Copies of this chain bind each other. A is one copy, B any other.
Amino acid sequence: MTYISPVEDIAFALEEIVGINQLSEQGAYPDYEADLLLPVLEEAGKLATNVLAPLNAQGDVSGCVLTPDGVLSAPGFKAAYQAFRDGGWMGLSVPTDYGGQGLPRSLALGVMEMMHGANMAFSLCPMLSFGAIEALLAHGSEHQKQTYLPKLVSGEWTGTMNLTEPQAGSDVGALKTKAVPSGDGAYALTGQKIYITWGDHDLADNIIHLVLARLPNAPAGSAGISLFLCPKFLLDENGHPGQRNGVTCIGLEKKLGIHASPTCVMEYDGAKAWLIGAPHRGLAAMFTMMNSARLNVGLEGVGVGEAACQAALAYAQERKQGRAPGIEGPAPILHHADVRRTLITMQAKVQAARAICLACGIAADQAQTAGTETDRETARLREELLTPIAKAWSTDVGVETASLGVQIHGGMGFMNETLAAQLYRDARIAPIYEGTNGIQAIDLAGRKLAMKDGAAMQNMLEDIQVTIRQARETNDPQLGQIADRLSSACETLRDCTDWMRQTMTEDRETGLASATAYLRLAGDVIGGHFLALSALRGRRAGGIRRARALALAGFYAETLLAEAPGRAAGIKEGGAAVLRDSEALFDLS
């Protein structure tokens, strides 16, 4: 069993659930038309299914190797990267000015989901490049853009993000890497960075490192960090990679999963670099990269979750054990109701996570391109709101789904040769990197709920009300039942949102102690909203699509949405209990 790109599911989510075709109707993307959607997804799907997926297991076994000449990627990865590059996938959503194709970000995200699902270790490389491209687009000088973007966008060069140091993880403001002006407008970087994904490799001709560092006499903490551009090879007068710069991979981490993605310790030894944006404004630039990466990491959860669903379903169809009603002889375990329930649980959550991530992508597109300032602002708020939910909720779903996938496989799921076991290991990083899920929860409960007097969540809750009303207006009893569950869940979310906003102001520690529980509730309810919407829109599509959307929404409503009201106590009382009882449980001296 290997991964088959879920082109139709992604197309349905983009078209029907999150409404990508609004974008072409409003003329925001002159190069995008609705009838491009399926061909683009199909072409990307072929690359994922035929080129990337077959390398996944071998990459897990081989991993990468650090040699005196740098990091060698896993067998086959170089050719796969060339196919990726030749397909023009890196520039899909980059403006045409820099060699991109000017298509919506949300479409590129649909493409990336398939790459993550097929081979998460591989896809981290373009994901990080994309973050570097976005940071340069937003904060680079015109000269920097002209010099570096075309090669990054074509995929001839790749990009990295260098944030973490041993003492500076979640607390990025604690970083120590130094940038000293060298008098020629450049800087010399000195320090060590860890956990640098695809920090070195042999896939591309150059690697453009974006590095956070401190200028001399910079203020302490995050107000004193600046962003630098540091190429692996300095460019010669023709703009070609020339002299080797003073940045080296000095170690590779041995990890639980994503073995084919080199996780590098990077040594900067007076490496030549250039400031991106203003001094001491690195944090803002970093957040451009981080927000892009966060949403993409959410899609890793979706991709790996989808892969786990597919592997589990294939195994359940093939493996015969025991008897089942209506089957002669040993029955495929798919015929056991408990197995089917597990599969439906997995599928419903993955589809909900996909919708949340793609809705965040559409909001990002609208924030750039909507016709009025008001609409752009509304979209920006939606993007800000959904980013931490997309990242945290979807990656938790990825881990849960991968774990359920192992379970469906029984003993075979615990064997190394099974994809299920690899997915269980690979999935586990996604809740950790690009801001742990705890950090996402604090971002949601603190910053995102407070923006514009709470407008972001308020707008979301209003959208949910529209869906409830529309579902009821169909007079379809199944949709009516879904609407009832969604309505109770939505009231709980509204109530807990009010509580959280007030508590973050009046008693911040208590709010922080419930932030993760709140994010989880928000994801459950918003995910349920998108599934309800898909059941509504699926009526138009008809046939199996309609039946499938209704089935996933119906099951989700009776489980996750029905549970939502009972989760208010865990938010309102659970956090208070943590603070009240901490002294009894922990030595906090």
Contact = CB atoms under 8 A, between A and B. Distances in A.
A509 interface: yes
Interface string A554-572: 1100110011111111100
Interface in A547-589: 547-548, 550-552, 554-555, 558-559, 562-570, 573-575, 577-588
Interface in A401-454: 403, 406-407, 410-411, 413-417, 421, 424-425, 428-429, 431-433, 436-438, 441-442
| Chain A interface mostly | helix
Contacts of A336: 438, 512
A171 to B, nearest CB: 4
Interface stretch (A27-35, A123-131, A251-259): A251-259
Interface stretch (A16-24, A45-53, A136-144, A339-347): A339-347
Contact of A330 (B174, B255, B432): B174
A313 interface: yes
Given A170-B410, A577-B558, A584-B544, A338 B512 contact: yes
Given A341-B513, A410-B432, A578-B341, A330 B563 contact: no
A344 to B, nearest CB: 6
Given A342-B516, A344-B585, A585-B551, A407 B421 contact: no
Contact of A334 (B195, B330, B586): B586
Contacts of A317: 587
A68 to B, nearest CB: 24
Contact of A563 (B410, B431, B566): B566
A474 interface: no
A335 interface: yes
Contacts of A343: 585-586
B341 A575 contact: yes
A6 to B, nearest CB: 14
B558 A569 contact: yes
Contact of A431 (B407, B432, B577): B407
A121 interface: no
A514 B514 CA distance: 30
A480 interface: no
A322 B586 contact: no
Given A566-B565, A581-B551, A585-B548, A407 B425 contact: no
A321 interface: yes
A254 B582 contact: no
Contact of A344 (B170, B320, B578): B578
B513 A581 contact: no
A515 interface: yes
A164 interface: yes
A448 to B, nearest CB: 16
Nearest to A348: B585
Nearest first, the 6 A-B pairs at minimum CB distance are: A566-B566, A551-B581, A547-B584, A562-B569, A337-B513, A563-B566
Interface of A: 164, 167, 169-171, 174, 194-195, 253-257, 313, 317, 320-322, 325, 330, 334-344, 347, 399, 403, 406-407, 410-411, 413-417, 421, 424-425, 428-429, 431-433, 436-438, 441-442, 485, 509-510, 512-517, 544, 547-548, 550-552, 554-555, 558-559, 562-570, 573-575, 577-588
23 contacts: A170-B322, A171-B322, A256-B414, A256-B415, A257-B414, A313-B586, A317-B587, A337-B575, A338-B515, A338-B516, A340-B513, A340-B586, A342-B438, A406-B428, A413-B432, A425-B425, A485-B569, A547-B584, A552-B585, A555-B577, A555-B578, A558-B573, A565-B566
